[in-house]
A and B are shown apart, each in its own frame.
Chain A
């Protein structure tokens, strides 16, 4: 079965612009999480959606937002981009939400460069 698909894979934006990243989870998975990965910082949790509801949120400013659609596909949006937002954004899907003991599966990520 197809894995987690993220689009676009690479993009370059200018400071002040906004960006929308898309994630299609594995078929049947209802939970989608987003992570920001930068060198030395590891994977920083952004938010988790389950059945179209945000279940959990990390410590990121309000410029970072997301949503999930009825087909479990998810988007994340970053407004007023800053140079420090340059990172690999990873989406992960899971059959269930937290405390379920389910494995999460990562997509290959979207590389965002802000200039």
Chain B
């Protein structure tokens, strides 16, 4: 089952903040966040594991609420390079990594 991401799209000015949410209907083992720029491969940003461990990008932060099966990605003081489509991937007991439909972020000067 695909996780649900919100919002579908967001437009920011440089320096502004944004939050991207990801929710799942199943119990989760891990949440993965990726960013994809047009015509390129998705690039790893962060992984959050059940139990609190996190690995990833030092300029991007995220949270994982295991009880609510939700994760949020926080884009702080956004830069032009933050533009792209952000995907969350969720892994449950079925060992499958399922991705949401994506959130398109546009950062303008």
Which of B47, B95, B100, B102 is within 8 Å of A56, CB to CB?
B95
Which of A40, A55, A106 is within 8 Å of B42, CB to CB?
A106
Q: Give every chain A residue within 8 A of B2 (Cβ-Cβ).
A: 42
The residue in chain B whose Cβ has the minimal distance to the Cβ of A91 is B41
Which A57-108 residues sit within 8 Å CB-CB of chain B? Answer: 58, 90, 97-99, 101, 103-108
Q: Give every chain A residue within 8 A of B96 (Cβ-Cβ).
A: 45, 48, 56, 58, 98
Grouping DSSP codes into helix (H, G, I), strand (E, B) and loop, the B interface class, with mixed when no group exceeds half, is strand
Q: Give every chain B residue within 8 A of A104 (Cβ-Cβ).
A: 32, 44, 97
Proximity bits, A31-61, B CB within 8 Å = 1, else 0: 0010100001111110010000001101000
Contact of B101 with A by CB under 8 A: yes
Distance (whole angstroms) from the CB of B33 to the closest CB of chain A: 11
Proximity bits, A1-40, B CB within 8 Å = 1, else 0: 0001000000000000000000000000000010100001
Q: Give every chain A residue within 8 A of B87 (Cβ-Cβ).
A: 42-43
Q: Give every chain A residue within 8 A of B49 (Cβ-Cβ).
A: 101
Distance (whole angstroms) from the CB of B8 to the closest CB of chain A: 10
In the complex, number of A-B residue pairs with CB atoms less than 8 Å apart: 60
Which of B29, B41, B97 is within 8 Å of A109, CB to CB?
B41
The size bracket of the interface on A is 20 to 34
| CA distance in complex: A41, B44 (Å) | 19
Distance (whole angstroms) from the CB of B55 to the closest CB of chain A: 7
Q: Are B99 and A101 in contact (CB under 8 A)?
A: no
Q: Give every chain A residue within 8 A of B91 (Cβ-Cβ).
A: 98-99
